[in-house]
């Protein structure tokens, strides 16, 4: 959908021009001659808030992208010693991420981990889990429990395995603590949390504006276009996603999208 600005709205909206020419007309009033109906003033006001909210969200996204570019060269990759499962970008909060929270995909061919050749060929880029200190500490505590064995030889073997595993995971724990401490330091220094708060507030304001537009009745085709445009971006643009789905929601989303193709997008 093309960007919506106040200037474009004023240029493209006969309803708005009619209202500015007849400032005393009430909502739904019909100008002299009865051929053109004025748009709902409350809808126009809600749509103006929608435009402002979209502009603020775009500005917040730009601010986050600028921050990511500024800090990209200082953002550390997680050491391989604390990388866990691969292909985790869709189902774990522990996936490796950049300063903005975007998933990081590694080139598997450059990793020193013992990755099988067929895995590297199938997954030239993938996202890995990063072990947090809490997880590693739990592993250590489990392995610190006294070992047992049916014979002295079996006991000695189990104790040797325990010492090896504990040494390995204590090393991983130190690395994980250092990595996560550096990540926390950079997040604090960059001010990314304030940018994220601005982004969150912008999304919430946009959704409120979309609801306001949806709740106001439209009196003209231009008003219907405004309502459809707001609906297409509500809830982070769920309508385009629903267009690909079946059922009643998918059918309604496709109808809205096709209606905008026919009557024009703001």
Q: Give the separation between CA 231 and CA 223, rounded to whole angstroms.
A: 12
3-state secondary structure of 106: strand
Q: What is the pTM of this model?
A: 0.70
- Among the listed residues 43, 128, 119, the one whose alpha carbon sits nearest the alpha carbon of residue 82: 128
> What is the pLDDT, as a whole number, of residue 259?
72
Q: What is the mean pLDDT of the chain?
A: 83
- Chain centroid, CA 217 distance in Å: 31
pLDDT digits (tens, 9 = 90+) for 205-234: 999 999 999 999 999 988 988 988 888 787
> What is the pLDDT, as a whole number, of residue 266?
63
Within a domain: 38: yes
Report whether pLDDT(119) > 70.
yes
pLDDT digits (tens, 9 = 90+) for 8-42: 444 444 433 333 333 333 444 433 333 346 999 99
Within a domain: 208: yes
Q: Give the separation between CA 264 and CA 14, rounded to whole angstroms.
A: 14
* Cβ 98 vs Cβ 127: under 8 Å: no
> What is the pLDDT, as a whole number, of residue 256?
73
pLDDT digits (tens, 9 = 90+) for 42-97: 999 999 999 999 999 999 999 999 999 999 999 999 999 999 988 887 777 899 99
3-state secondary structure of 64: helix
Within a domain: 20: yes
> What is the pLDDT, as a whole number, of residue 77?
94
Whole domain around residue 209: which residue ranges? Answer: 6-72+198-235
Q: How buried is 144 (Cβ within 10 angstroms: 0-12 exposed, 13-18 middle, 19+ buried)?
A: exposed
Q: How many domains would you assign to the chain? A: 1
Within a domain: 192: no
Q: Are strands 106-107 and 128-130 parallel, antiparallel or unpaired?
A: unpaired
Task: Output DSSP code: residue 23.
Answer: T
Within a domain: 56: yes
Within a domain: 184: no
Within a domain: 227: yes
Within a domain: 218: yes
* Cβ 50 vs Cβ 213: under 8 Å: yes
């Amino acid at each position: 959908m093309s960007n919506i600005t106040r200037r474009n709205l004023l240029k493209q909206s006969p309803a708005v021009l009619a209202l500015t020419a007849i400032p005393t007309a009430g909502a739904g009033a019909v100008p002299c001659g009865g051929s053109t109906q004025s748009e709902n003033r409350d809808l126009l006001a809600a749509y103006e808030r929608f435009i402002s909210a979209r502009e603020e969200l775009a500005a917040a996204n730009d601010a986050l992208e600028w921050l990511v570019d500024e800090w990209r060269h200082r953002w550390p990759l997680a050491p391989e010693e604390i990388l866990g499962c691969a292909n985790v970008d869709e189902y774990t909060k522990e996936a490796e991420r950049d300063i903005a929270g975007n998933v990081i995909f590694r080139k598997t061919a450059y990793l020193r981990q013992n990755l099988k050749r067929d895995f590297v060929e199938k997954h030239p880029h993938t996202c890995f889990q990063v072990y947090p200190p809490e997880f590693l500490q739990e592993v250590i505590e489990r392995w610190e429990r006294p070992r047992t064995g049916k014979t002295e030889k079996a006991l000695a073997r189990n104790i040797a395995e325990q010492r090896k595993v504990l040494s390995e995971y204590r090393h991983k724990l130190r690395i994980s603590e250092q990595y996560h401490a550096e990540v926390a330091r950079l997040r604090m220094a960059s001010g990314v949390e304030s940018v994220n708060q601005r982004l969150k507030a912008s999304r919430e304001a946009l959704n409120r504006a979309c609801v306001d537009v949806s709740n106001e009745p439209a009196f003209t085709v231009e008003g219907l276009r405004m309502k459809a445009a707001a609906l297409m971006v509500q809830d982070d643009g769920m309508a385009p996603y629903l267009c690909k789905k079946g059922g009643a929601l998918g059918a309604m989303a496709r109808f809205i999208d096709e209606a905008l193709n026919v009557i024009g997008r703001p």
